[in-house]
Amino acid sequence: MKQEGRGGGPDGVLSPGIGRREAVKKGDLSEQRKRLVELMQEVNYGRIEGLRVQNGEPVFDPPPTVLRLFLFGKDNGPNESRGNDGFALKKKVAELFEVFDRERSLSIQELMIDNGLPVRMTVADAVRV
């Protein structure tokens, strides 16, 4: 399967002759997608509001609003994997980027982050009559 865009697609690539998907690593992502992954890891617990997606890529101009949750009994600092580009993307991150690839243009009202991973997203959608 071919990846979308500049190495940003989350589907992985088919291994030659094997038919298995290779894991997509953070370092394989476009700069904009890598920036979003790092922002989610930095937030760790909370939400990102007002993020736009154009042509399947997150847009940071204007910058989204970040709201952090402080959970007592949890490590509220940035996720420890933030600086590591070599890890394979978790399924929830891959699913988020699959939505970006499919929808191409989104106005994300709220992206909920739990332990550095996306868990729920609310988007504004035009009414189609």
Q: What CA–CA distance (Å, rounded) separates 109 from 88?
A: 27
Q: Is the peptide bond before 58 cis (omega within 30 degrees of 0)?
A: no
Domain spans of the chain, in order of start: 26-124
Token reading at 95:
């699913």
pTM of the model: 0.78
Which is it for strands 65-68 and 117-124: parallel, antiparallel or unpaired? unpaired
Q: Reply yes or no on whether the pLDDT at 21 is more than 70.
A: no
pLDDT, one tens digit per residue, over 51-91 is 999 999 999 999 999 999 998 988 877 777 666 667 788 99
Q: Reply yes or no on whether the pLDDT at 128 is more than 80.
A: no
Q: Reply yes or no on whether the pLDDT at 106 is more than 90.
A: yes
Q: Reply yes or no on whether the pLDDT at 5 is more than 50.
A: no
Higher-confidence residue of 20 and 55: namely 55
Phi, psi of 108 (to 5 degrees): -85, 115
Looking up tokens 């399947």 gives: 56
The pLDDT > 70 percentage for the chain reads 78
Q: What CA–CA distance (Å, rounded) separates 17 from 69?
A: 46
Q: What CA–CA distance (Å, rounded) separates 126 from 129?
A: 9
- Any bridge partners for residue 59, and if so which? 52
Q: What CA–CA distance (Å, rounded) separates 37 from 41?
A: 6
Q: How far apart are the first and last CA of the chain?
A: 35
Looking up tokens 């865009």 gives: 5
